[in-house]
Amino acid sequence: MLIDTSKSPYAKVYSIPQEDVNWDSGFWLDRFNTAADSTVPHIRSLFENPDPWFHVVENFRVAAGIHEGVHEGTPFGDGDFYKWFESATYVVAKRHDEQLERELDEYVELIGHCQQPDGYISTKQIIADRAAKNGESSRLGDINDFECYNFGHLFTAACAYKRVTGKDAFLNIAIKAAGYLRAMYQGFIDAGEAKTEVCPSHYMGLVELYRTTGNPEFLTTAKMAVAVRDLVKDGSYDNQDAEPLREHKKIMGHCVRSTYLYAGVADLYAETGERALLDMLHSVWNNGFLRKTYINGGNAALYTGNSPYGLFPYKHNKKISFVHQAYGYEYQLPNITAYNETCGALGTVMWNLRMFALEPEAKYFDQIERTMLNLTLASVSLDGDKYFYENMLRRTDSLDYELIWPVSRTGKISCFCCPPNMARFITESSEYAYMQSEDAIWTGMYGASHARVQLKNGAAFTLRQETAYPWNGRIRFSFEDVVHDVPFTLKLRIPGWLRRGSVSVNGKWTDLSRKDAGKYLDVRVERIAGTVVELDLDMTPRLTIAHTKVEEDLNQVAVERGPLLYCLESVDTDARDLGRVMLPVSAKFTEAQTEILGCQLVSLETTGYTFEQNVWYDGDALYQTLELPELRPVRIRMIPYFAWDNRGMGQMTVWLPALWGRL
């Protein structure tokens, strides 16, 4: 859920209310419609399935005493359901779907029946405690039961539903649950020791409860939640509690646990202004996004392993621990085994949005856009009902090992946290179009849209954006329904990838160059009525190289066009092995329209080179003498990375060996 920092004393910008901003046409409206028509109903059908594989809604019915049974599925299924609920809430908001709203009200009533008198609500423990014969409670016995994670997503879903519908029932459940957490934290403080709460979505949720209700008790509880982290004994890098929070310098451990943590801390800074928290966030952000982030916006390089930076011998360093879906060392970014869990990437979107609220710099929205357009959309099929858990950057025909998750999208994943998380981000995506401050509108993600604006300086109007972005870099802003014609500033994000472009105010054009990239350009609008602002971003395809310390990408290039990352699939070339396809650094691309599953895309066509090995080549040898083969030209077509794996199984690669010199 997008944050409401309009009253946060240390935030410089805040979002436009969701009811006042909408996609009008084009790319993002198409993605919203696919999510609303396919993804959201599909996820609901799975959660309603009483099969033990999911059993999500059934767990609520059992916990409420409506049905008999036991808890099935994952312990975090409650939280995943709340994420789906939030996505459905945005569908209600945008489509005014009264039937869906009534059905959500019924879910709220069901959730209320589950909640215990003291505010506790997590179906696994409620069901187990009812069946226990010894009277002992299973609450908070295992940190990997994700109880606070469930609470956090309950909080954010309840706040969203309150803002969309104005109804209090769900919010009252969240308020009661937050009271339980406050009592729990007071107990930790009194005892001088605490347990880690994994995937701490509740930090963000508690702050948003405070913003929604205005009750300072929830801000106090959020402060307590963060403070007790430093009471954890024998913490680990996996959960980011091996060192006191304010001493963090690098991002490490589990990708979701880390990004949720830092997003929550950014929320807390927006309300408290504690400088030590902001300094820590800067240090960790720089380490994560300048050293450990994939070109598709992904952020977890490793499936499993020990946390890095540990010293030998292990017996003298208890902080070394097993880590799942984790950050590795700086520049450790493998492609075939790239984990890139979708939830971890979405955690970076939440974190960057909050950092932007604190200090509106283009780098934060550049990162949001990279992740949303590339990894987030790649995690779901173009028809909206099949999903990736991890997001690799290269797929081969066969491997000598088995990866944890399927290498092709599927409609059914045993760990189903990512699809509902992705769904809520796509259905709320229009809220990423603009942010506002006292006398300015800040552009975020570009797309055809309109927004009703009421600035604190008195300016009131409707801002309309017309564009075919991200396929075309021409963006036109105009103003309608001007109520108060008060001068304001339109702040245009000039993406970091820009090499050349131009901007026009009422037909007077000014050139843009690389020196303008990665910054905001101020356009002062003295008279709103009749003003037209145009931005033209050159989208000539470009080759991208990685830092030389990224060993897997050394002497290779990736292809990008505007904000979109491109890839090569085996269906788009007659080369036998994509590992043998090389791209000249002087390659020129022809743009073409391509349709995949009804989605119109801009593909890029060019000539690459491949080679066939001679008869002495041993495909099983780890090393062998190079026998120089002859290169032959091969036509290749590259498609946006988000659209890959929609045409059957085959090879895919983002990075291609660079071919230097003249041929």
Query: What average pLDDT does the structure give for the chain?
Result: 94
**258 pLDDT above the threshold of 60:** yes
Q: Is the pLDDT of residue 186 over 90?
A: yes
pTM: 0.96
Tokens of 73: 């599925």
Structure confidence by residue, pLDDT tens digits, 336-365: 999 999 999 999 999 999 999 999 999 999
Nearest residue to 115 via CA among 105, 124, 126: 126
Lowest mean pLDDT among 55-69, 132-146, 430-444, 460-474: 132-146
The per-residue pLDDT for 629 is: 82
- 633: number of CA atoms within 13 Å, CB side? 6
Q: What is the C-alpha to C-alpha distance for residues 196 and 241, in angstroms, rounded to an integer?
A: 8
Could you give the dihedral angle defined by the CA atoms of residues 154, 160, 164 and 165, in that order, rounded to the nearest 10 degrees? 20
Question: What is residue 594's predicted lDDT score, i.e. its pLDDT?
Answer: 97
- pLDDT for 281 beyond 70: yes
Q: What is the pLDDT of residue 525?
A: 97
Q: Which two tokens stand for residue 323?
A: 């880590």
Q: Using an 8 Å Cβ cutoff, are 342 and 379 in contact? A: yes
Chain-centroid distance of CA 523 in Å reads: 30
| Residue 461, pLDDT above cutoff 50 | yes
* Lowest-confidence segment of 277-291, 433-447, 591-605, 624-638 by average pLDDT: 624-638
Q: Is pLDDT at 321 greater than 90 in this prediction?
A: no
538-589 tens-digit pLDDT: 999 999 999 999 999 999 999 999 999 999 999 999 998 999 999 999 999 9
Mean pLDDT of 108-116: 98
- Least confident window among 114-128, 300-314, 326-340, 390-404: 300-314
Give the integer Cα–Cα distance in Å for 80 and 433.
26
Which of the residue ranges 82-96, 307-321, 626-640 has the most confident prediction, judged by mean pLDDT?
A: 82-96
pLDDT-derived band at 314 (thresholds 50, 70, 90) equals: very low
Digit-coded pLDDT (tens) for 199-235? 999 999 999 999 999 999 999 999 999 999 999 988 8
Mean pLDDT of 67-83: 95
> Tokens 């780098």 map to which residue?
363
Per-residue pLDDT averaged across 504-533, rounded? Answer: 97
Q: Tens digits of per-residue pLDDT, 364-409?
A: 999 999 999 999 999 999 999 999 999 999 999 888 888 888 899 9
pLDDT of residue 211: 98
- Helix (H) / strand (E) containing 43: helix 40-47
Lowest-confidence region among 87-96, 134-143, 647-656: 134-143
The pLDDT of residue 628 is 81
> In the predicted model, what is the mean pLDDT of residues 248-274?
96
How high is the pLDDT of residue 405?
86
Place of tokens 């066969």: 398
Q: Residue 662 CB: number of other CB atoms within 10 A?
A: 5
Q: Please give the pLDDT value at position 315.
A: 47
* pLDDT for residue 312: 47
- Give residue 663's pLDDT: 53
How many residues does this entry show for the chain?
663
3-state secondary structure of 319: coil
Long-range contacts of 112-118 (CB under 8 A, 24+ apart): 112/169, 112/173, 113/64, 113/65, 113/66, 114/60, 114/63, 114/64, 115/173, 115/176, 115/177, 118/179, 118/180, 118/183
- Secondary structure of residue 523 in the 3-state scheme: strand
Token pair of 327 as six digits: 């950050």
**348, 262 contact by CB (below 8 A):** no
Percent of the chain scoring above 90 in pLDDT: 84
Give DSSP secondary structure letters for 111-146. Answer: HHHH--TTS---HHHHHHHHH-SS----TTS-GGG-
> Which tokens in the block code for residue 455?
């600035």
Residues near 316 by Cβ (< 8 Å), separated by ≥ 6? none
How confident is the model at residue 318, as a pLDDT? Answer: 55
144 close to 122: Cβ distance less than 8 angstroms: no
Spatial contact of 433 and 451, defined as CB atoms under 8 Å apart? yes
CA neighbor of 476 nearest in space, from 453, 452, 447, 501? 447
What residue ranges define each of the domains in the chain, with the CATH number in brackets?
14-132+146-394+403-432 (1.50.10), 435-537 (2.60.40.1180), 542-615+626-659 (no CATH)
Name the E strands within 388-541: 394-395, 434-437, 440-443, 449-454, 460-467, 474-484, 488-494, 500-505, 508-513, 519-525, 532-537
Report the pLDDT value the prediction gives residue 21, as an integer from 0 to 100: 97
Return the closest-CA partner of residue 85 out of 433, 389, 431, 427. 427
For residues 365 and 625, is the Cβ–Cβ distance under 8 A?
Answer: no
